[in-house]
Structure 1
Amino acid sequence: MGKPAKNLLIIMSDEHNPKMLGCAGHPIVETPNLDRLAARGTRFSSAYCASPVCIPARASFAVGKYIHEIGYADNADAYDGAIPSWHHKLRDRGHKVVSIGKLHFREEGEDHGFSEEIIPMHIVEGKGDLMGLVRSDLPVRKGAYKMADLAGPGESQYTFYDREIAARAQVWLREQATAEHDKPWVLFVSFVAPHFPLTAPPEHFYKYYDQALPLPKLYAHDQRPTHPYQVDYRKSFNYDDYFDAVKLKKALAGYYGLCSFLDENIGKVLQALDDAGLTDDTRVIYTSDHGDNLGSRGMWGKSTLFEEAAGVPLIMAGPDVPAGKAIDTPVSHVDAYPYILEAVGAATPALLEGFPGVSLQALAEGAQPDRNVLSEYHGMGSATGAFMIRHGQYKYIYYVDYPAQLFDLKADPEELHDLGSDPAHAATREICHARLMAMCDPVAVDKRVRKRQAELLEANGGRDYVVRRGDLGFSPPPGAAITFD
């Protein structure tokens, strides 16, 4: 990087579909603060998480490696600090590294590498979503009704939690960030919006509910793709069984409203940074752990490898970051790891060796490495391991037990036409498959993950107990009641 060391503010949201940004061209959703951040920095328009579900995505972001390299493959196997993270490495080198908000690691009391964890949200009972360990004869989610029934105007446990996160971040920036520090600090602020429940503060909800809203893409039953992976997911996470026209509009307005609510809170944090006189000495990264299907193809939530779920918003700004740029080179959350170390002046060769990422700074400055980025999925609602790579304009999705898919994102950015069985694209599929195999052996990874899941399932009472235990629909924030369905 060769740039002066500066402070670093990392803001992460939860389940923010990368298309739902004003600066990404969305015709409805209003995100003025993120738009301003993008205008003074660089936005990556083809950015991906390592896995489209909370725990694996956050573990990969922390450690800087792909899921097949580190484990933590599903929402019942959370990061526990056993593999050193960038938090560990910076803290151990004298940097103040503080988190505020959702982490979704295993439990409090473990050393996750932060100097301090402020109002952290970790997985339920240190166990998380045990039903995700069941990978055959997939159980139907009892809590799926909450997606439709809770959509509407108001406040939820999550909006209250996000308000507290924003408040704590503002206080920290005004009182702690301005104190004397021997080395640049890192503040990780992690919100839960726009993750469901789709209950949005009224001032944001009605802004969208009071206008005509288009149906989600391929939402009609006769339009929905019949690939077995998507069929499995829709049957297990049967959110859409509970929707009618009124609830559908409430859900869309709720999600859009939560995107604007998130943007409001991010604006408060960025304003506090500015009021503290730290903007010129601080680089900023904004991203989300993964996206959300938001009804597209009849699916809600995450857990697919379409752009809506595996894609993430990714914006960086601050000293030495190219301003007003949009980069369409595919990038990954693993690329954040080398950049974080570089940004605060800790990127020694020893700390970067063996990591797959390419620094976001280099990518922002135009680097186009000959590599592929990968997202993989092994969790809830899936009966088979799924692996996706970007190769140029193409997205290739390999399923261990189902037919592969191929999409030409240049000609078909909405992924409406699956080329997975098109004879005219056989050569492209072969090239993509060889590229995937050069990164990992999907069959071997799937076997290893399933072995780990079987062990965890047995340790937690077996299939029958786990299914009876049920699911929460969404993890409760600190201090909230835990109620399974």
Structure 2
Amino acid sequence: MSSSRRPNLLFILADQWRSSAFGCLGQDPVSTPSLDHLAADSVMLTNAVSNYPVCSPYRAMLMSGQYPFRNGVPLNINSLTAPLGVGLRPDANCWSDMLHAEGYYLGYVGKWHLDPPTAEDAIHGEGVREGCVWDAYTPSGRRHGFDFWYSHGCCDDHLRPHYWVGDAPREAPTTIDAWSPEHETDVALDFLRSAGRRSRDQDVPFALTMSYNPPHQPFDTVPSRYLDKYRHLAPEELLVRPNVQDESGAAATIAAQYFAAMTGVDEQIGRLLSALDDEGLADETIVVFTSDHGMQLGSHGLMYKNVWYDESLLVPFLLRWPGRIPARSDDLLLSAPDVAPTLLGLLGAAVPDEMQGRNLADALRGKAVDRPDRAVYLRPAGGFEDTSEDTRGLRTHDRTLVVQRAADGTERVQLFDLVQDPYQREDVAAQRPDEVASLTAALREELARCNDPWV
């Protein structure tokens, strides 16, 4: 690749994939040969943080480079929060808007979950579960620069997915009888081939976002050819983290399905990486693999996410750029809003002043720069979970501070020492008041920078 040619971007997002779930790490008992191969050639960030570990708020931070109280998504998006005005601001200058303005050809395949359901979405009945509507049509004016569109809002039928394709109207989605990651990869491969030709022949770089919904629930919608690798394993072989509390055994059943979906998605990622090789695009394409949040899977007696424990808070983050980014493991503390300005920095594009995240491109290049030493955790009161406590936290390399504020203003503070207690099983706040005071001051400083009304 010549020094003057702009790199392409393949950004792969897998929903609810926790940071420990790589075969090469030897932590979760999961088989991920494609991602293991990618990791060997990438910078692997071991402290990538989902500051608000639930789908819509993370995705809005990822796209906009802004924290939730500026980008318009302080709660997960569904028909219960839509009347509150929750949704990614159409006028937000996302990283995709900036690349589109600089001549990139952009594609989006898979889950979006950044627009509020309307009455029309409710009528069409897609993505209805748990008493509300989750799925939503995204009009062309809210697609933030993406030219190629093959997406749904939030619908979890992995074996019979639907998509709005191009200019198709709300009432005309395309429904497919196939496992969604496999079908979406077929679509993405066609995009890569055509965009690759455009890149070579017309010198037009591309950026493709591949947004898989699995391994997100429903967990039982995974092809048996992947589940066969795990169904014979005993609970103690599946749930290996020492902080697991699993009285009923439900977590073990889900774990087999969860890891099976990961192995299936990993196979699809292998197809994408092979296509880059076959098309001669690998050396001129930045590849990113990450997730919107993790999953507890029985740790601390919890199943899902949206808590401050590392099983939910930490996400995988691999970035490969052959010859430009040295492969290594790096403890860079990356927050979700940092991703957008960092991508723009790597791609040589302008970073809007309104982005609150940090451009950490030089840190990824291995240069000596100021590196973040803290990241916030956010869980506002209200939303789908009807949370009464307004919770904030601070994650550093070696501590986790959590402050839960009740409706009457009283606060409960917890502190975990990640060096002595990496599985966050002992609250030491009462024994370390000076640390609590120092970290609470740092938390308030960070929240003020994020325009968070909590302060």
TM-score by length of structure 1 reads 0.75
**Which protein has the bigger helix share?**
1
Tell me the CA shift for residue 307 of structure 1: 0.7
Deviations 1:405-459 (A, max 9, x none): 21111222111112232x2x211111111111112259994569xxxxxxxxxxx
* 1:22-421 matches, cutoff 5 A: 22-76=23-77, 77-106=86-115, 107-109=137-139, 110-123=141-154, 155=159, 157=161, 160-179=179-198, 180-199=201-220, 200-214=222-236, 215=239, 217-220=242-245, 244-245=248-249, 247-347=250-350, 351=352, 355-363=356-364, 365=366, 367-378=369-380, 379-381=383-385, 382-401=387-406, 402-421=411-430
Q: Give the partner amino acid of 2:21.
A: M
Q: Go from structure 1 to structure 2 and tell me whether the alpha carbon gap of 1:441 and 1:27 turns closer, same or farther (over 3 Å shift).
A: closer
CA distance in 1, matches of 2:35, 2:362: 19
Higher mean Cα deviation, 47-56 or 109-118? 109-118
The answer for the alignment partner of 1:15 in structure 2 is 16
CA distance in 2, matches of 1:373, 1:323: 24
CA distance in 2, matches of 1:256, 1:191: 15
Tell me the CA shift for residue 370 of structure 1: 5.0
Tell me the CA shift for residue 353 of structure 1: 6.6
Gaps of 5+ in 2: 78-85, 116-136, 163-177
| 3-state SS, counterpart of residue 296 of structure 1 | coil
Tell me the CA shift for residue 294 of structure 1: 1.3
CA distance in 2, matches of 1:248, 1:356: 35
CA distance in 2, matches of 1:220, 1:192: 26
Higher mean Cα deviation, 271-280 or 333-342? 333-342
CA distance in 2, matches of 1:205, 1:361: 41
CA distance in 2, matches of 1:413, 1:291: 16
The answer for the alignment partner of 1:475 in structure 2 is none
Contact 2:39 2:318 in 1 (8 A): yes
Q: Go from structure 1 to structure 2 and tell me whether the alpha carbon gap of 1:17 and 1:4 turns closer, same or farther (over 3 Å shift).
A: same
Q: Give the partner amino acid of 2:374.
A: N
Deviations 1:118-155 (A, max 9, x none): 3212157xxxxxxxxxxxxxxxxxxxxx9xxx9xxx95
Q: Go from structure 1 to structure 2 and tell me whether the alpha carbon gap of 1:68 and 1:430 turns closer, same or farther (over 3 Å shift).
A: farther
CA distance in 1, matches of 2:38, 2:450: 41
Tell me the CA shift for residue 392 of structure 1: 3.5
| 3-state SS, counterpart of residue 62 of structure 1 | helix
CA distance in 1, matches of 2:450, 2:346: 37
Tell me the CA shift for residue 62 of structure 1: 0.3
CA distance in 2, matches of 1:364, 1:414: 31
Q: Go from structure 1 to structure 2 and tell me whether the alpha carbon gap of 1:196 and 1:360 turns closer, same or farther (over 3 Å shift).
A: farther
CA distance in 2, matches of 1:3, 1:311: 35
Q: Give the partner amino acid of 1:438.
A: E
Contact 1:5 1:343 in 2 (8 A): no
CA distance in 2, matches of 1:155, 1:272: 24
Q: Go from structure 1 to structure 2 and tell me whether the alpha carbon gap of 1:248 and 1:362 turns closer, same or farther (over 3 Å shift).
A: closer
CA distance in 2, matches of 1:323, 1:62: 25
CA distance in 1, matches of 2:356, 2:91: 17
Q: Give the partner amino acid of 1:311.
A: L
CA distance in 2, matches of 1:6, 1:371: 29
Q: Go from structure 1 to structure 2 and tell me whether the alpha carbon gap of 1:444 and 1:270 turns closer, same or farther (over 3 Å shift).
A: closer
Higher mean Cα deviation, 396-405 or 249-258? 396-405
Please report the RMSD computed on the Cα atoms of aligned residues, expressed in angstroms.
2.8
Report the number of matched residues. Answer: 394
Q: Give the partner amino acid of 1:380.
A: F
Q: Give the partner amino acid of 2:304.
A: G
| 3-state SS, counterpart of residue 104 of structure 1 | coil
Higher mean Cα deviation, 309-318 or 115-124? 115-124
Deviations 1:195-247 (A, max 9, x none): 011122212212112122324654447xxxxxxxxxxxxxxxxxxxxx943x4
Q: Go from structure 1 to structure 2 and tell me whether the alpha carbon gap of 1:419 and 1:364 turns closer, same or farther (over 3 Å shift).
A: farther
Q: Give the partner amino acid of 1:212.
A: A
Contact 1:87 1:113 in 2 (8 A): yes
CA distance in 2, matches of 1:355, 1:68: 11
Q: Give the partner amino acid of 1:426.
A: P
Higher relative contact order (CA 8 A, sep 6+): 1
Tell me the CA shift for residue 291 of structure 1: 0.9
Q: Go from structure 1 to structure 2 and tell me whether the alpha carbon gap of 1:296 and 1:220 turns closer, same or farther (over 3 Å shift).
A: closer
Tell me the CA shift for residue 257 of structure 1: 0.6
Tell me the CA shift for residue 315 of structure 1: 0.4
The answer for the alignment partner of 1:431 in structure 2 is 438
Q: Give the partner amino acid of 2:292.
A: D
Q: Go from structure 1 to structure 2 and tell me whether the alpha carbon gap of 1:262 and 1:370 turns closer, same or farther (over 3 Å shift).
A: closer
Gaps of 5+ in 1: 125-145, 222-242, 449-485
